[in-house]
Structure 1
Amino acid sequence: MPKVGMPKIRKPQLVKATMAVIGKVGLHSASIALISREAGVSTGIINHYFGGKQGLLEETMRVILRQHSHTVKTALKALPADAHQQRINAIINANFAGFQTQSEVTKTWLAFWSYSMHDDQLKRLQRVNEKRLISHLRLELKSLLPMDKANLVAVGIAALIDGMWLRGALTPDGINAQAAQIIINDYLELQLKKHQN
């Protein structure tokens, strides 16, 4: 029987190990044996806490999504509610900040993107994340643009964020957060000028 309080230690340890193993061998080869070895625990612990590999993968994605959501919300809380363009910039920048840009996290994101096409639960989590991003952007953009244009620009920004992530995850140097922020914020500026005139 696990000791009281151990889930608070073991679960994050196993999630971190999952990301490390996915970064080394990919999602398909990330076995329970490799993950438990990386975490320094028995394979039975994964089954106990997560019900197997699938449960651990889902929890890993949820952890990444929660951290990402926290980063975005923290950035938005620091700004006045009526500073719409600054808030959009903050949403963009939060997608390329801290935890989200760590090599193991980007590799895990990329693996989940690919795998979610064939897994209903991971697909649902990915859609929640996508809808949240577009919703945050649309909320701010509709104060600056007509609604149809706000929708279009929100989707454009989300596509650029995904594209910069994909390119960064596939290059040895990883995501260039500064370049991504400049490119996407430049697109935003151009769209605001185009549609506000």
Structure 2
Amino acid sequence: MSEVKVRVRQQRKPSRIAQERKQDLIEAAIRNIADHGYDAVTVATICEEAGFSRGLIGHYFSGKDELLLEAVKEVAQRLGNAIRDAVRNAGDDPKARLHALIDASFSPPGHTPENVAVWVALVGAARLSPALGAIYREIWRDYRDGVGRLFKRAGKLNGRKIDADRTALTFSQLVEGLWVGGAADSESIPAKKAAACCHTYVDQMIGQ
């Protein structure tokens, strides 16, 4: 029986220009969501913001919905990267890591008016969009798992028994609530005050 050779066509890597244009469209979508809300964004507003013709989106995305999903994922990745870097640089102490996580959650490059505005739009749209809802649940599930482990370790080192799941849930909703409230009323809930609220919660749960 003769050997049959199967050729596998290698997928061509996008050119640098194609990658840049795709990223430009994602950035334009992020700005549009931040300025107008998720539901108000259109192909026309995105392309006008990016300075491209309307037909260009079809070369890189299946449509507006895919592009908007990528924009939300980009913002989530920025927030996640900033938090992970801060936690990693804080050393091994779990309490120090929690405080570093808070600082990163309320300061650039993760916490910016644009990124927070997109996150607020995600919160509002996740209930009605299965795709956005899946992204939202996945992000918070991973976040709470990591935060819960930190609280549990920190409590153990300080002689406190902590319900990791409940504490992580409370903490995550505290953070998100301050993001949403700060976006609506930055005068009453500036980022620095919001971070201080979270630092106080950690100290109260773990001990000074």
Fold similarity call, TM over 0.5: yes
Deviation string, structure 1 residues 129-156 (Cα, Å, up to 9, x no partner): 1112211211111113367522222111
Residues 48 and 115 of structure 1: CA distance in aligned 2, closer, same or farther (over 3 Å): same
Deviation string, structure 1 residues 8-39 (Cα, Å, up to 9, x no partner): 21122112111222233222221100110110
Q: How far apart are residue 169 of structure 1 and its match?
A: 1.4
With structure 2 as the length reference, what TM-score do the two structures score?
A: 0.84
* Runs (5+) with no aligned partner, structure 2: 1-13
Question: Alignment partner of 2:153: what SS?
Answer: coil
- Letter of the structure 1 residue corresponding to residue 111 of structure 2: T
Higher helix share: 1
CA–CA distance in structure 2, aligned partners of residues 99 and 174 of structure 1: 22
Q: How far apart are residue 4 of structure 1 and its match?
A: 2.7
CA–CA distance in structure 2, aligned partners of residues 92 and 59 of structure 1: 25
RMSD between aligned residues: 2.0
* More divergent stretch after superposition (49-58 vs 141-150): 141-150
* Runs (5+) with no aligned partner, structure 1: none
Q: How far apart are residue 102 of structure 1 and its match?
A: 2.1
Q: Where does residue 17 of structure 2 map in the other structure? A: 6
With structure 1 as the length reference, what TM-score do the two structures score?
A: 0.88
CA–CA distance in structure 1, aligned partners of residues 133 and 71 of structure 2: 14
Q: How does 1:39-78 map to 2 (within 5 A)?
A: 39-78=50-89
Residue 135 of structure 2 is aligned to residue 121 of structure 1: no
Structure 1 runs, 4 residues or longer, greater than 4 Å off: 172-175
CA–CA distance in structure 1, aligned partners of residues 57 and 166 of structure 2: 43
Residue 40 of structure 2 is aligned to residue 29 of structure 1: yes
- Letter of the structure 1 residue corresponding to residue 167 of structure 2: V
Deviation string, structure 1 residues 135-181 (Cα, Å, up to 9, x no partner): 12111111133675222221111111011001011125596221111
Question: Alignment partner of 1:142: what SS?
Answer: helix
Residue 176 of structure 2 is aligned to residue 162 of structure 1: yes
Q: Where does residue 192 of structure 1 map in the other structure? A: 206
